[in-house]
Amino acid sequence: MQRDLEKMSATAYDLIVVGGGITGASTAWDAALRGLKVALLEKEDFAHATTSGSSKLVHGGLRYLVNGELKLVRESLRERRIWENTAPHMVHPLPFILPTYGHGMKSGPVLSIGLAFYDLLSYDRNFVSDDDKKIPGFRSISREEALKLMPSLKREGLTGAKIYYDCQMFAPERLCIECIEGAVEYGADAANYAEVNDFIVESTTTSGRRIAGVKVKDRHTGKMHEIRGKVVVNAAGPWADLLMGIAEGGRPARRLIRSKGIHIITREISGKNALAIQSDIGGHFFVIPWRGHTIIGTTDTVFDDDPDKVGVTEQDLKDFISVVNDGLPGLNLKREDIVHFYVGIRPLVDTAPAQGEEGSKDSYNASRAAEVYDHEPIDGIAGLISAMGGKWTTSRHLAEQITDMVLKKLGRHAKCETHCTPVYGGEIGRLKSFITRAQKRHPHLSADVVENLVLYYGSRVDEVLATADERPGEREALLRRLAPNWPVLTVQVIHAIRHEMARHLSDVLFRRTGLGTLGSPGFPTISTVVEVMARELGWDETAIANEIAEANRYFETQSPGPRESDMKGASLAEATRGARP
């Protein structure tokens, strides 16, 4: 996967996708599989925002039953099964504990009815290729069993618990990138750090305008490019209505409610089970086991500022700790228990009329359903489609609907294949057997290293390791761990640069290797990664300092007010001041 905006500007495309999150990635993958010539453009790094800022769940949305969104729940449950089959190294069943209280909506009988309906809607949940991924129906456990599994539960009124199953992603940002790599394998071109800031208007007629492509700024060189395509899909996530406004020359026809969701990561506190908890002061949240740690999330508050400015403040953490301790009083969570945190923005479709009053701005109860908006019949803008809203779980199906509309506009027909085609790296069969075979094939590597490679790259493990052979004499050094307590190899950094468009330290730490997703791996590890990247990309000391300073922002809470990039040109000592040893 190579980045080449010069080549892309000289190519005629059937489809240009703006946005490199999971919606854009899935659309590019689907369209490429159906034979379209596709360009994918992302202004930052792939999967940098909402896609990586999720709860890492692929789930049916149990609480959507309360809102009567049966169609969305059924769609989500079907898509959950499809992701299990097409990304078997990435998507795994996860048991959830749901405590029961009293005689109301939280009571055992009421929740049993809801969960029975949930199981009924997932009637095809065990049509999976790996028996280890089969999901049982819900079951009830006693009060004593519930407290044994999760001692921090609120005890007053506790009558027992239900255990049901959903699924978890090992690394959502990697899964997104694999969809892009799959699209590239089938002929698509992709570029990160390629900012679309205007559209090419081919003609203006009595019936309206036609979009003939996009104007793109290369954020590395500052050079502008024009990339032409017959159809443009706006899949910009939280920025989708802003991009829509550029096309429409003012107020967008559809608006988004931006919901800010923060997650905190702590030491392991939940065992092998996840926990779904209702807090009286802050709605519901999940407690989720992940990589030997626990993710607690998420908040759900309206964010009215520029989506580029979203961040986590100390007040955010303080408020969320209060919510968690209200829902789990026995946990007694403190600020020092948090080892890392991250934030994402959910783009929710605002149902208020475009020219009417603002919507209710209730992000918690707003629908997670998506909308595919064709600008031609309503706005008179031909050649532009916008994807609004949606959720991680249903992104593949949303992409199918988008691609169907694109093909109709192009006067072509081809069936969707993403529901039965493994993602890039997904052709592994039974996961446990594949891991065992990979460990036997690579006895020179530690078992945990090989398992981590399989979970990250699936069937492409050998391709990643082959990067170590690209330059004679480097193999031994590249097959070493980056740090004693991390199962990540130096060759993964090289592979990310040479074959996955990683251009910045944060790309490698957060979206290619996972080194930074549990908090700072420490300055020695970061220094090793920087040294490798500097050799590959030709960074000088100033560039190194800037890269470290920018990466450190992901480990720090946001100061009040707008946050400026004030480390440009800083010394190496200043830039590394926040890195933990």
**To the nearest whole percent, how much of the chain has pLDDT over 90?**
85
* Residue 145: count of CB within 10 angstroms of its CB: 14
Check whether 576 has a pLDDT greater than 90: no
List the single range of 431-435, 528-532, 569-573 with lowest mean pLDDT.
569-573
Query: For position 560, which CATH number holds?
Result: 1.10.8
**Shared domain check, 270 and 144:** yes
Please, what's the b/e burial string for 113-125 (b: 16 or more CB within 10 A of its CB; e: otherwise)? ebbeebbebbeeb
Q: Say if 116 falls within a structural domain.
A: yes
Rounded Cα–Cα distance for residues 175 and 417 (Å): 17
pLDDT bucket at 558, cuts 50 / 70 / 90? confident
The answer to whether residues 511 and 20 touch, using CB atoms and an 8 Å cutoff, is no
**Shared domain check, 308 and 263:** yes
Q: Which CA distances in Å does 167 have to 17, 21, 76, 288, 432?
A: 28, 20, 11, 11, 17
pLDDT bucket at 471, cuts 50 / 70 / 90? confident
The closest alpha carbon to 530, from 485, 481, 490, belongs to: 490
- Specify the pLDDT at position 565: 39
Quickly tell me which residue has 């071109």 as its tokens. Answer: 189
- Specify the pLDDT at position 126: 97
- End-to-end CA separation in angstroms for the chain: 34
Q: Quote the mean pLDDT of the chain.
A: 92
**Shared domain check, 565 and 447:** yes
What's the average model confidence in pLDDT over 77-96? 98
What's the average model confidence in pLDDT over 360-375? 76
Rounded Cα–Cα distance for residues 216 and 193 (Å): 10
Rounded Cα–Cα distance for residues 86 and 133 (Å): 12
Q: Say if 113 falls within a structural domain.
A: yes
List the single range of 46-55, 157-166, 201-210, 335-344 with lowest mean pLDDT.
201-210
- Specify the pLDDT at position 365: 63
The closest alpha carbon to 248, from 258, 228, 234, belongs to: 234
Q: Which CA distances in Å does 80 have to 20, 255, 340, 419?
A: 21, 28, 27, 11
Q: Which CA distances in Å does 207 have to 82, 199, 210?
A: 41, 18, 10
Q: Say if 321 falls within a structural domain.
A: yes
Q: Which token pair is 377?
A: 């019949």
- Specify the pLDDT at position 366: 66
- Specify the pLDDT at position 561: 44
The closest alpha carbon to 181, from 395, 25, 3, 407, belongs to: 25
Rounded Cα–Cα distance for residues 449 and 439 (Å): 9
What backbone torsions phi and psi does residue 472 show, to the nearest 5 degrees? -55, 140
**Which runs of consecutive H residues, i.e. helices, occur in 500-580?**
505-506, 523-537, 541-552, 572-575
| Overall number of domains in the chain | 3
Ramachandran bin of 514, using left for φ above 0, alpha for ψ from -120 to 50, beta for the remaining angles: left
- Residues forming beta bridges with residue 232, ordered by sequence position: 16, 384
The closest alpha carbon to 495, from 519, 523, 460, belongs to: 460
The angle that helices 541-552 and 523-537 make with each other, rounded to 10 degrees, is 130
pLDDT bucket at 259, cuts 50 / 70 / 90? very high
pLDDT bucket at 562, cuts 50 / 70 / 90? very low
**Shared domain check, 547 and 491:** yes
What backbone torsions phi and psi does residue 546 show, to the nearest 5 degrees? -65, -40
Q: What one-character DSSP code corresponds to residue 233?
A: E
**Shared domain check, 535 and 439:** yes
Q: Say if 143 falls within a structural domain.
A: yes
Q: Is 569 in a helix, a strand, or coil? A: coil
Q: Say if 310 falls within a structural domain.
A: yes
Question: Domain limits at 144?
Answer: 89-167+258-347
- Specify the pLDDT at position 367: 65
**Shared domain check, 220 and 270:** no
pLDDT single digits (tens) 171-214: 999 999 999 999 999 999 999 999 999 999 987 666 689 999 99
Largest CA distance in the chain: 72
What's the average model confidence in pLDDT over 95-116? 95
Q: Say if 342 falls within a structural domain.
A: yes
Q: Say if 233 falls within a structural domain.
A: yes
**Shared domain check, 439 and 494:** yes
**Shared domain check, 119 and 177:** no
Rounded Cα–Cα distance for residues 207 and 383 (Å): 13
| DSSP-derived secondary structure for 281-329 | TTEEEEEEEETTEEEEE---EE--S-GGG----HHHHHHHHHHHHHH-T
- Specify the pLDDT at position 206: 60
Q: What one-character DSSP code corresponds to residue 157?
A: T
What's the average model confidence in pLDDT over 277-292? 93
pLDDT single digits (tens) 494-517: 999 999 999 999 999 999 999 999
Query: For position 202, which CATH number holds?
Result: 3.50.50.60
The answer to whether residues 146 and 161 touch, using CB atoms and an 8 Å cutoff, is yes
**Shared domain check, 564 and 445:** yes
The answer to whether residues 327 and 285 touch, using CB atoms and an 8 Å cutoff, is yes
List the single range of 50-59, 513-522, 562-571 with lowest mean pLDDT.
562-571
Check whether 290 has a pLDDT greater than 70: yes
Q: What one-character DSSP code corresponds to residue 255?
A: -
- Which residues are CB-neighbours of 483 under 8 A, at least 6 positions away? 521, 522, 524, 525, 528
What's the average model confidence in pLDDT over 267-295? 93
- Specify the pLDDT at position 351: 72
**Shared domain check, 187 and 162:** no
- Which residues are CB-neighbours of 196 under 8 A, at least 6 positions away? 18, 41, 43, 214, 215, 216, 243
The closest alpha carbon to 18, from 52, 37, 46, belongs to: 46
Q: Say if 354 falls within a structural domain.
A: no
**Shared domain check, 340 and 264:** yes
pLDDT bucket at 4, cuts 50 / 70 / 90? very high
Rounded Cα–Cα distance for residues 348 and 215 (Å): 27
List the single range of 292-306, 367-381, 405-419 with lowest mean pLDDT.
367-381
**Shared domain check, 39 and 95:** no
Query: For position 156, which CATH number holds?
Result: 3.30.9.10
What's the average model confidence in pLDDT over 228-257? 91
Rounded Cα–Cα distance for residues 443 and 565 (Å): 45
- Specify the pLDDT at position 168: 98
